[in-house]
Structure 1
Amino acid sequence: MAPELVVFYNTENFYAPQLKQYPRSDIPKSGLRNWNEARYQNKLLKFTQVFNYLRLEEGLLPMLIGLAEIETNQVLEDIVNQDVFKGNYAFVHYDSPDQRGVDTALLYDKTKLELLYSEVYSEIFEGEIGMLPVPSTTRDILYARFRYGPVELSIYVLHLPSKRQKEVGMAKRKIILDKLQRKIRDKLLQNPLENIVVMGDFNENPTEANLQDFVAFNNKSEIVLINFFEELYNKKKFSTFHRSEGLLFDQIILSPAFLEQENSIEFLHAKVFDSRHLIERSPHNKKRGHPFRTYAGTRYLGGYSDHFPVFIKIKIKVK
């Protein structure tokens, strides 16, 4: 069989159009003032251009696309109805309890993949406003299981808490990743050749402690998962930036089965899709290589996203 792409893309605040204008003193949960129909349609156009560029540069469209920062089914329905997807794609999405109303989602090529099962895992933390305890929710981890030719794929899509509250966010990310690792270890104990893909915006680089602990266990003596994006990060390949600092928060992590000789599916390579078409063209050249984003703070730029997509290429082995 021909190689296939599996993509993850943080779309940067892909909300449905707002139905009213907000005054400067009243900011909607999206944080986006004047997110209107015209800007939404431009976002749809930019999203489809990303996948047209991917098809031109890599020779094919992905069979799976994990997404972050998607608001509603309406957005996903509008996406799959775009010409680039030729009516071949369906989606998996659940509304999460996230305070800003953005979720993870999956697009899949239904001519290649059969959806067998899906669910979400939620995490609720205790927080505070003043002296009052309040629940603090996160975006769900989306789980889906597919049949792909002779094999099955288990897919997890996540968007972990941000780094804005450094210590709090790090602790939350650790709790979520530890629980997910336990689920995955249980699966691999039952079937060491299970094909597991964990993709998302981890809000940490591959070399940071939480990610290192996630892929290994027992003081790193037991390899649970394999992260090829660590090598890319060490080569200074970045998917997003904070000021001038390059970051590789967007990663696709695999179970060891993808490297096993007796498995029917194999990993070929990983890549950050930092196409020149998606790069910001700053007049002062201060942001060389940065993604052309939709917003910079509250200033509308009209770009694609503040993240580049990332992907892996895999292939069914011919026997």
Structure 2
Amino acid sequence: MSNGYFGSTIHELAVFYNTENFYSAEARTSQLPNIEFSGLRNWDQFRFQNKLQKIAQVFQLINEKHGVMPMLIGLAEVQGEGVLQHLVSQPVFEGRFNVIHYESMDERGVDVALIYDKSKVEVISSEPISYFFEIEGTDPEKYDTTRDVLHVKLKYGSATVNVFVFHLPSKREKDINRPRRDVILTDIRERIMQMNDLGESVLLMGDFNENPDEENIKNITFGSNNEKILSNPFEDLFLKGKFSTFHRQFGLLFDQMLISDDFFKQSASLLYENAEVFDHPKLKSWDRKFEGRPFRTFVGSRYLGGYSDHFPVLLKFRKN
């Protein structure tokens, strides 16, 4: 039984999903710098509706497997609140989900966002955290930007939880962006230490553009006195060969969720049970050459019509 009576166990889910170029139907008429490369010159209402239905289906599949809709869903590569409102209006969300989104200064016009089950979660506050970087060899007044980090403080039962949603700078051009990821994660680490002092829980979710065994991810799990401030359940999955995305012949687990240690205490409102890369067969490529990999929407500018080039990742909790 799962209805809460006679001591039955109730579970809750938190999910992160990089949706790969989830643009609005009108995106091809906008002035986005990378419109040619992304394939958006051929984007239209039909392709948007196909993408919308596929992303909604992902959450239907999660619901069918786990018997519950996620209460928190972090998203990356979504273009604006309009796309998100279309998504939460799909039948699988049953009118229970609200949207938190801020426009960032990302050159591709895509942002991170959080949608949440308003019947379970109370939002206390939210903010976008923006970062600005100098461009070497140019006018000092010029600067470069990246996608914001979204910070949402919420209440679940008696617990205060700080959720951070990331889509960190990519590893393109021999990882030119690594120093930027280091700056962002160092800043977030300092914020987390302050939250620990206040007794607040922390949940990080996102596309970190680094694997669980890389230095920046390792560093954010420890405080200034080398005390443990976060645990990364996806580290074990990576060691077992579970991947959320691929680059050439390499499997990667850039999509991760990290949690503070209070989620492991028996007294926790939400007690951690397990982590998962949700690689459902329907989300996988039908092409034998890419067997086991995500069924993508695009390869470069070539339209395939799939879900995303990433699998979703999730954490499962037991409700106390």
Overall identity of the aligned pairs, in %: 47
The change in CA–CA distance for 1:167 and 1:298 in structure 2 (over 3 A counts) is closer
For residues 182-193 of structure 1, what are the structure 2 equivalents within 5 Å? 182-191=190-199
Task: Please state how far the C-alpha of 1:292 moved relative to its aligned partner.
Answer: 0.2
SS of 1:52's equivalent?
Answer: helix
Equivalent residues of 2:36, 2:301 under 8 A apart:
no
In structure 2, give the amino acid aligned to 1:203: N
Structure 2 portions without partners, runs of 5+: 5-9
1:143 positional shift? 0.8
RMSD: 2.0
Aligned counterpart, 1:311:
314
SS in 2 for 1:120: strand
In structure 2, what is the equivalent of residue 259 of structure 1? 264
1:209 aligns with 2:212: no
The question of 1:295 aligning with 2:298 is answered yes
SS of alignment partner, residue 180 of structure 1: helix
Report the equivalent of 1:109.
117
User: Which runs of structure 1 show a deviation greater than 6 angstroms over 4 or more consecutive aligned residues?
Assistant: none
Alignment of 1:151-166 (within 5 A): 151-166=159-174
1:3, 1:316 within 8 Å by CA — same for their partners in 2? yes
Contact 2:129 2:149 in 1 (8 A): yes
Aligned length: 309
Between the aligned partners of 2:37 and 2:129, the Cα distance in structure 1 is 23
Give the superposition deviation at 1:86: 1.0
1:256 and 1:200 map into 2 onto residues whose CA distance is 19
SS in 1 for 2:176: helix
Q: d(CA) in 1 for partners of 2:36 and 2:198?
A: 46
Separation in 2, partners of 1:242, 1:235: 18
Show CA shifts across 1:216-254 (max 9, x none). Answer: 2458x4211100100000000000000121000000000
Checking the alignment, whether the CA contact within 8 Å between 1:29 and 1:100 is kept in structure 2 is no
CA distance change for structure 1 residues 86 and 26 in 2, over 3 Å: closer, same or farther? closer
**TM-score (ref. length: structure 2):** 0.92
TM-score when scaled to structure 1? Answer: 0.92
Tell me the CA shift for residue 53 of structure 1.
1.1
Q: 1:14·1:75 contact (CA, 8 Å) conserved in 2?
A: yes
Matched residue SS, 2:108? coil
How many angstroms does 1:209 deviate by? 0.7
User: Superposition pairs for residues 164-203 of structure 1, below 5 Å?
Assistant: 164-191=172-199, 194-203=200-209
Say whether the 8 Å CA contact 1:21–1:34 is kept in structure 2: no
Aligned counterpart, 2:7: none
Q: Which amino acid aligns with 1:311?
A: L
| CA contact 2:112–2:148 (8 Å) conserved in 1 | yes
